[in-house]
Amino acid sequence: MPLPSMKEQFAALIAAPSVSCTQAALDQTNRPVIDLLASWLGDLGFAIDIQQVSPGKFNLLASYGSGPGGLVLAGHSDTVPYDAALWKTDPLKLTEVDGRWVGLGSCDMKGFFALAIEAVLPLLDQRFKQPLLILATCDEESSMSGARALAEAGRPLGRAAVIGEPTGLKPIRLHKGVMMERIDILGQSGHSSDPSLGHSALEAMHDAMGELRGLRLAWQREYRNPQFSVPQPTLNFGCIHGGDNPNRICGQCSLEFDLRPLPGMDPQVLRAAIRQKLEPLAERHKVKIDYAPLFPEVPPFEQAEDAELVRVAERLTGHRAEAVAFGTEAPYLQRLGCETLVLGPGDIACAHQPGEYLEMSRLTPTVRLLRELIEHYCLKPA
């Protein structure tokens, strides 16, 4: 069978559901997307390696050419959940609307794979002096288990890696980390008329939040990076739950918060500082305090501005490498020895939104850019 056209591939990827969600009822396998990519790339002569990360969840590593070095074009095969009632079109059907390709995953980021395949097609009759690897991971939108599994396996990938997340075709060499944390305080309930009958988890949490606010202020004084639109680390109190009635001493209270560290801030050091502040509170209030991450952290990411990949991408795009606030799989690929950049055609403003789209005007420039990157890293001697 002939290879489907780029638009047909794009549409097939959109039509293959691959929601990744921490809620089991919404979570789906990504195998249909992996099988499509494996079929197309296998037919083109790529060596196919499908790795099971967990039941129903798979990574794909497709390679053309062999040897050390080379280029990795990487992306995630999953999408966020969606509410079809809020979409004006079928989210699982590629629809052209006002010069845009609309569909779930068009921007973030299954559509990137169709563009990468289109980019390499006219180059396959040439000798690849260094390999091209196309990487599709699972569960980026929830646990990042696919990228974590690669990092833990420790198998070197390539000399350079480009992750096609939505950046408006501007190279991104820095992003903040993502830490989502939870504090649970267990006190002792009792009648509100006599404070000695209990130990208030709510009052202990009030003091815990005060300590966190103090740490936030200290970290914002110590750390600053003007390349980010929000140049300091942030700590957001997202939700709090506790107690059940005004006339009962609150016996249990929980807080969930979000911490976005800058490059150079170690999540483990930050957690140690938080624990150091919480321990005296437990003794003072005679409560039990349990503090743990909701999910494993995404580390901050920074690629040196003088790296070859940064210089090449800046030259090809005409844009200086920038910083973004959202997290990606970049730190995990970087851990495997790749110079790493985030660079893709979508716009982050429409990601995770009903009506997600990719501007059709970005299709040709993206294919051209990816082809030039492949030529630089795979067709020229190292």
246: number of Cβ within 10 Å: 7
Two tokens at 52?
């099971």
Q: Residue-wise over 193-212: b if at least 16 C-beta within 10 A, else e?
A: eeeeebbbbbbbbebbeebb
Are the C-beta atoms of residues 288 and 186 closer than 8 Å to each other?
yes
Query: Across the strands, what pairs with 358?
Result: 101
96 is catalytic: no
Alpha-carbon distance of 191 to 203, in angstroms, equals: 15
297 is catalytic: no
Of the candidates 299, 282, 300, the one whose C-alpha atom is nearest the C-alpha of residue 291 is 282
Of 118, 139, 140, 165, which one is the catalytic site residue? 140
Scanning the chain, the segments in alpha helix (DSSP H) are 6-15, 31-43, 111-120, 145-153, 201-222, 267-285, 308-317, 330-335, 363-374
The residues that are catalytic are 78, 140
